[in-house]
Amino acid sequence: MALFRLPSSVPLALEPRGSGLLLRAPVMSDFPQWAQLRDRSRAYLTPWEPIWPSDDLTRTGFRRRLRRYAEDIVNDRAYPFLIFREADGALLGGITLANVRRGIVQAGTIGYWVGEPFAGQGCMTSALQVLLPALFGELSLHRVEAACIPTNLGSVRVLEKSGFTREGLARRYLCINGVWQDHLLFGMLHEDFHG
């Protein structure tokens, strides 16, 4: 099985920074700011996300989330990042690299969210530009994938501005807001990245 794992020299605590942003794994002390931003942005995020667990915005729910994240990182399955503005430490949103596949694939899928107060300001495009070098560099991915609902024009713009190529449509791909939704599929190869 060692063939399908990353070499042990790969850092688990990636903290990419640039463009005035810091991306890092969430910690318990992030809970108040995270819960406040998610709660404030609930109506804005609901059409684009899976249904939230009933205890999602509780300390217990956040602690459970952190335990799952830690396990995923150690097992090289997923890497969650919160996006902070360096100037004042404001939490803007999050990006997760999930479904990491090794062996002959060397790929992962990104998902992201931005708090409503920061939407449409280019922060997610900037955050992706900060994160992609680490995904293709430290994590040695060959391919990064993303998917979004066709009507989520903001997300389509983020992916296209970031250099992703639209590759097709997956019918009823993910259950979003309680409904199986079609998704546009996007991909970026290591050789496509010009960071």
pLDDT tens profile 113-158: 999 999 999 999 999 999 999 999 999 999 999 999 999 999 999 9
pLDDT tens profile 63-74: 999 999 999 999
> Is 20 part of a structural domain of the chain?
yes
> Is 101 part of a structural domain of the chain?
yes
CATH code for the domain of 79: 3.40.630.30
> Is 149 part of a structural domain of the chain?
no
> Is 88 part of a structural domain of the chain?
yes
What mean pLDDT do residues 153-174 have?
Answer: 97
> Is 2 part of a structural domain of the chain?
no
Closest Cα partner for 143 from 110, 120, 176? 110
Give the integer Cα–Cα distance in Å for 181 and 143: 24
> Is 75 part of a structural domain of the chain?
yes
Overall domain count for the chain:
1
Dihedral, CA atoms, 170, 172, 174, 180, nearest 10 degrees?
Answer: 160
> Is 77 part of a structural domain of the chain?
yes
Give the integer Cα–Cα distance in Å for 114 and 94: 6
Domain containing residue 128: 16-142
> Is 169 part of a structural domain of the chain?
no
Handedness of CA 195, 154, 53, 30 (dihedral sign): positive
**pLDDT(10) > 90:** no
pLDDT tens profile 25-57: 999 999 999 999 999 999 999 999 999 999 999
